[in-house]
């Protein structure tokens, strides 16, 4: 099967024997998923896709490798600091001298890796360019920077929040989330199990747990799940944290409320798919009379999705940039 993503098309034309190599933070691409090697990713959807093909798939938050790959390809993300974290992680966890290729779109900042590698004392050479993408190669070495240093913290709403370059809203409270938090006290019941879908740095999960709710926090992004776990621990709070692609890991579990600030970007592309599933499948995960409460950019087409799923909904707040929506499940099923 031919590669689909431009960066994978660039790799597909290389002479390199990628058997046994490690693909790090790749996009979804059938050529990769049906090919050679194993994957290292913090994206639960990517890990699931590879495992469905019977392929080896690992998260950076799992135990270290059982075997050492002959080489690795790092797909450079648009978040430059996240790319640096992956590079430091590979230097810390793979043998010195391991071949590393770095691939990415030119508009995504791949050419900046030259300065990053030079700052780390790692040599680099350009291998190829095509499809508005570039491919570089280096060899891993020991560096004095610990990838753990990328984890920072900040305070918001009286809570200490863990932050990482791979997490939405890194280092600050998102204004949409702030608007949502301002309307939750008068909206949520005082008790009951609540699902924080797309938990990010854990601000909603921690706020809900502090209020006394039993909280389950889910995110497709492993960095977000880890950030939420750290946020809850930093504030002495409890909650279940799960990696999952929307509701995929929840089974038949139901909640009194689902709260969310759902994402609508996948790298630079707009992707309504996760939000559409969040809304469309919500009735199957709400108790009778349960509420879905979400905040979104005002321009997003969520009213149609809410009306189609619930028949009726409310706009609790609208500051022209963001809207807070509420919809209720039927009282009986």
The pLDDT, as a whole number, for residue 271 is 53
Buried b (16+ CB within 10 A) or exposed e, 31-43: ebbebebbbbbbb
Q: Kindly report the CATH number that applies to the domain delimited by 6-147.
A: 3.40.50.150
Angle of helix 222-234 relative to helix 203-211, nearest 10 degrees, comes to: 40
Q: Which two tokens stand for residue 115?
A: 């300065």
In this prediction, residue 272 carries a pLDDT of 66
Structure tokens at 301: 């087409």
Nearest to 284 by CA among 254, 313, 325: 254
Rounded Cα–Cα distance for residues 126 and 128 (Å): 6
The ranges assigned to domains in the chain are: 6-147, 151-328
Chunked in runs of 10, what are the mean pLDDT values of the chain (333 residues)? 92 92 96 92 95 93 83 94 96 95 94 93 95 97 94 97 93 95 94 95 98 97 97 98 95 96 60 84 96 94 94 96 96 70
CATH architecture of 151-328: 3-Layer(aba) Sandwich (3.40)
pTM (2 d.p.): 0.93
User: Do 6-147 and 151-328 have matching folds?
Assistant: yes
């Amino acid at each position: 099967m031919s590669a689909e993503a431009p960066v994978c098309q660039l790799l597909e034309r290389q002479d390199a024997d990628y058997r046994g190599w490690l693909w790090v933070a790749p996009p979804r691409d059938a050529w990769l998923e049906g090919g050679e090697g194993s994957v290292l990713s913090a994206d639960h959807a990517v890990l699931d896709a590879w495992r469905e093909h019977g392929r080896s798939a690992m998260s950076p938050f799992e135990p270290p490798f059982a075997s050492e790959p002959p080489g690795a390809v790092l797909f450079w993300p648009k978040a430059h600091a996240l790319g640096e974290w992956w590079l430091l992680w590979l230097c810390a966890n793979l043998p010195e001298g391991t071949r590393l290729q770095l691939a990415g779109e030119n508009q995504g900042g791949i050419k900046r890796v030259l300065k990053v590698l030079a700052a780390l004392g790692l040599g680099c050479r350009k291998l190829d360019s095509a499809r508005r993408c570039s491919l570089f190669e280096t060899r891993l070495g020991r560096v004095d920077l610990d990838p753990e240093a990328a984890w920072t913290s900040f305070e918001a709403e009286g809570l200490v929040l863990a932050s990482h370059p791979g997490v939405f809203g890194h280092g600050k409270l998102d204004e949409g989330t702030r608007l949502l938090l301002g309307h939750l006290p008068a909206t949520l019941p005082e008790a009951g199990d609540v699902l924080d879908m797309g938990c990010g740095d854990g601000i909603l999960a921690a706020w809900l747990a502090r209020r006394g709710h039993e909280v389950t926090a889910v995110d497709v992004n492993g960095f977000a799940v880890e950030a939420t776990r750290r946020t809850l621990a930093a504030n002495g709070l409890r909650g279940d944290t799960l990696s999952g692609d929307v509701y995929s890991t929840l089974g038949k579990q139901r909640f009194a409320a689902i709260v969310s600030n759902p994402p609508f970007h996948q790298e630079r592309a707009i992707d309504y798919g996760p939000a559409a599933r969040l809304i469309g499948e919500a009735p199957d995960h709400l108790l009778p009379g349960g509420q879905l409460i979400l905040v979104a950019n005002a321009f997003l087409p969520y009213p149609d999705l809410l009306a189609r799923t619930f028949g009726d909904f409310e706009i609790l707040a609208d500051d022209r940039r963001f809207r807070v929506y509420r919809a209720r499940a039927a009282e009986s099923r």
